[in-house]
Chain A
Amino acid sequence: MERSYTLDEKLAILSDAAKYDVACTSSGVDRKGKHGHLGSSISAGICHSFGADGRCITLLKILMTNECVFDCKYCHNRASNDVPRATFTPEEICTLTMEFYRRNYIEGLFLSSGVRKNPTSTMEQMFQALYLLRVKYGFRGYIHVKGVPGADPQVIREIGYLADRMSVNLELPTGDGLRLLAPHKTRKTILTPMRQIQQGIAQERLRVGVGEKMERAYRMKELPGSIFNENNLRLQKRTDEAILQLDGSGGTETSRKKFGESVDLCPDNRVSMSGRLDAGSEAGGCRADGLASASAGGLVPWAEDRGLSYVPAGQSTQMIIGATGETDYQIMRVAESLYRQFDLKRVFFSGYIPVNEDSALPGLDTPVPFLREHRLYQADWLLRFYGFQADELLSEDRPDFNVLVDPKCDWALRHLEYFPVEVNRADYALLLRVPGVGVKSARRIVEARRNGRLDFPDLKRIGVVLKRAAYFLTCNGRQMYPIAIEEDVLTRCLTADEGKKRWEVEHPQTYRQLSLFDDMHLAMMPTVEDCSKAAFGQF
């Protein structure tokens, strides 16, 4: 059934098949070069090119195979589609990565895959490729690998030592959505490896003595309302678990056998991955005592001997927006719960792009929901860097984002009781909530006002966007314009400016797509995680 293709044909098929994955970052890990090896990694990440869709190209993003026994309705590679199928050998993956890296085309590899035979054997093959790449070829660039839902915990455990980042796709915001569109995946088969990876990361972090939870920019863990604040994390545990449809006792940690369901889990797999590789002698140079079996959280001697660490750049996920009927509120609550309970580094949103005709799916002429995706990312920013929680931005009664103004302005307009804020007195948390005041400006204000009272020209110098902030601030009790702080007046002032931006976001072909940073007045990228980082690297 799979015909033989040239390397070029395979690359065409398997990059085409991988392009819908949104993450493209190479950030979060610093690794120096080493004699006899190839590559290094810098924690800010580097983009190497920009495709015709304006997305950055950082990693060689490919599927290992687009053969698939699953039948996710939205996916081009689903079992029921008649499409050309191709598979890379581990050697081919290594050669492409090494040769592309040498030429400075890429920062590393993003390896995902369709499910060939079953999840476990698929991930074993991915493991083989990565093992060759890291150990035999000595590749020190960035590696992002997908976890396939339903794969044996052991391979998840061991492959994590070869990767910098792992991600398991949530696919759809709710379990119902999954049942409808991804019948071979369940919340449990998805959240189980996600939990396992989280625990692996925590264990590794404790081992090297940096604290169990991932770092968060701008000391967000200390901000009282922040989703990364330990107190909130505990308080919200039950709610979050309900939202993520975990059973009350942390069901994902119970035996994996229970959720095998339609998935062949290879339950007898108890031989260490590298041990098996040795048996096939493909990798070479690997010690036979690697055979000592590793349990889902146990030691992995071959990795520890080499000083490899477990998923050092953390875990991310993505979900499709607009294929199923969830509201923005539901989506944001899910994202928030994932950050809180799974300590994810990032949650990505992927606006639904129709590729298949199917009664369960939106029509083929459905436009890509650019603006919706944009609003969700803005809100995600507010969660991660501004100390907002999903419940403040949306509610059951107001379940979707305002198309006219960004979520931060929208919040401010509905909470005029907090405004105007006196720049010389307001605390940091409140300053962060003022439209037009970014993270960096807020920090600078706190810093600068120690040396004297601030006035509007000072704010301008600090980087506050007065065009917006002016309506919400006073300096020494004075407003910049004599204007009533009333919702409809302010809405009019603020939307005048938003109109053009909105149009640009919705029509990317004709206008420059606004970057998040313009919008959020972020003078500085908190962590350079996003594709758009290159142009903003200087701040």
Chain B
Amino acid sequence: MQSQLINNQWSDSRMEKHRFVCADEFGAMMSCIYEAWRWGNRGFIVELAVESEDNYQLFCVEHRVEVDEERAEKVIRSIRGKISYRALELVYHCAMSVIPEKLEVIYRFLRLGFVIGPRVTETLTEEPVMRIFEISRRVGNEAHRFNQFVRFTRWEGGILCSVIEPKSNVLTLIAPNFAERLISEHWMIVDKKRKLAVLHPADSRWYLRQLTGEEYDRILNFDRDHEEYALLWKTFFHHIAIEQRKNPQCQNNFLPKWYRENMTEFR
């Protein structure tokens, strides 16, 4: 049975799987959706993925899709217009996840969404809808944690700088929160793993930026632990706990250990 299937794939190109691969970046992902969509409409079997080290697959034709602003824009507009803003939100959150099959999930969600329309976000019994909710919720939770746990250090020159190591690509999800509360401050938050930073000059809009090697090194070499207020904060943190109510288990639940590496009070 198995071999027969493979034979068929070779004999009829429509039975072949076409794999669309792109960079792990929202614009590229949307361009990739656009491309895969066209092939899918013509009856080809398509599969989508973002680039990673181990994504080479046998028995399929691989298409590498580069970002195309215009096409990405079209996809985004259609999601918002033909499905809903909520759907776009889900798609965006999901796209920020680290889960390898996220792009495939988005594609299948959209396939359904463009048929059903706005109601798609209520049809929780459909597998792709359930999946996108689940992934996007996980990303949202992580972003919420970083709204809580981001710690800034003040550099000479007055810039507030924070280094984080999130699993999901949360920078653009948390930036609005900080833009609100630190509206008249210069600040930046650096994603150590992705070498990405969100930058916010005082009183203007924030933007995203890929760091150069030199910038990255400078940021990581900066001393985050001996600033006057960092020390004061540690003092406060240790004195505010009640000895008789000690409860490490509860602390771990609310503040999982992996977040602590970059938090002033735990360093």
Contacts and interface: CB of A to CB of B under 8 A. Distances in A.
Given A7-B232, A19-B240, A19-B241, A509 B246 contact: yes
Contacts of B240: 15-16, 18-19, 51, 57, 61
A34 B184 CA distance: 8
Interface of A: 7-8, 11-12, 15-16, 18-20, 32-40, 46-57, 60-61, 96, 99-105, 141, 353, 368, 508-513, 532, 534-535, 537-538
B265 interface: yes
Contacts of B231: 8
A152 to B, nearest CB: 30
Contacts of B151: 103-105
B235 A8 contact: yes
B148 A46 contact: yes
Q: Please report whether the interface of chain B is mostly helix, strand, loop or mixed according to DSSP.
A: helix
B248 to A, nearest CB: 7
A508 B249 contact: yes
B144 interface: yes
Given A11-B232, A51-B251, 19 more contacts: A15-B239, A19-B240, A38-B181, A38-B184, A39-B181, A52-B246, A52-B248, A53-B245, A54-B248, A55-B245, A103-B233, A103-B264, A104-B151, A105-B151, A105-B265, A508-B245, A509-B248, A513-B250, A535-B253
A92 B195 CA distance: 37
Query: 9 tightest CB-CB pairs across the interface, nearest first?
Result: A54-B250, A54-B247, A51-B241, A33-B183, A508-B247, A512-B249, A53-B245, A52-B241, A33-B180
A290 B229 CA distance: 35
A508 B265 contact: no
Interface string B250-267: 110111000000011100
Contacts of B241: 19, 51-53, 55
9 contacts: A19-B242, A38-B183, A52-B247, A103-B154, A104-B152, A509-B247, A512-B249, A534-B254, A537-B144
A35 B263 CA distance: 28
A5 to B, nearest CB: 12
Contacts of A57: 237, 240
B23 interface: no
B244 to A, nearest CB: 5
B3 to A, nearest CB: 42
B234 to A, nearest CB: 10
A508 B250 contact: yes
A368 B244 contact: yes
Contacts of B141: 537-538
A41 to B, nearest CB: 9
Nearest to A504: B249
Interface string B215-239: 0000000000000011111011111
Contacts of B162: 104
Interface residues of B, number: 52
Interface of B: 137, 140-141, 144-145, 147-154, 160, 162, 178-185, 203, 229-233, 235-251, 253-255, 263-265
Contacts of B264: 103, 105
Contacts of A49: 148-149, 237, 255, 263, 265
A53 to B, nearest CB: 4
A513 B250 CA distance: 6
B233 A105 contact: yes
A103 B247 contact: no
Nearest to B141: A538
A171 to B, nearest CB: 18
Given A7-B232, A100-B233, A103-B160, A535 B254 contact: yes
A104 to B, nearest CB: 5
A181 to B, nearest CB: 19
Nearest to A21: B240
Given A104-B162, A368-B245, A534-B148, A36 B184 contact: yes
Nearest to A20: B242
A343 B183 CA distance: 35
A537 B254 CA distance: 11
- Which of the listed residues B180, B235, B254 has the most CB atoms from chain A within 10 Å of its own CB? B254
A135 B169 CA distance: 38
A538 B229 CA distance: 31
Contacts of A510: 249
Nearest to A7: B232
A513 B183 contact: no
B196 to A, nearest CB: 19
A46 B147 contact: yes
B242 A35 contact: no
A144 to B, nearest CB: 14
A35 B203 contact: yes
A511 B181 CA distance: 37
Contacts of B249: 54, 508, 510-513
Contacts of A47: 148, 254
A96 B230 CA distance: 11
B57 to A, nearest CB: 34
B232 A538 contact: no
A52 B153 contact: no
Contacts of B244: 353, 368
Contacts of A60: 236
Contact of A56 (B137, B248, B254, B265): B254
A306 B153 CA distance: 32
A143 B245 CA distance: 26
A46 B181 CA distance: 12
Contacts of B263: 49
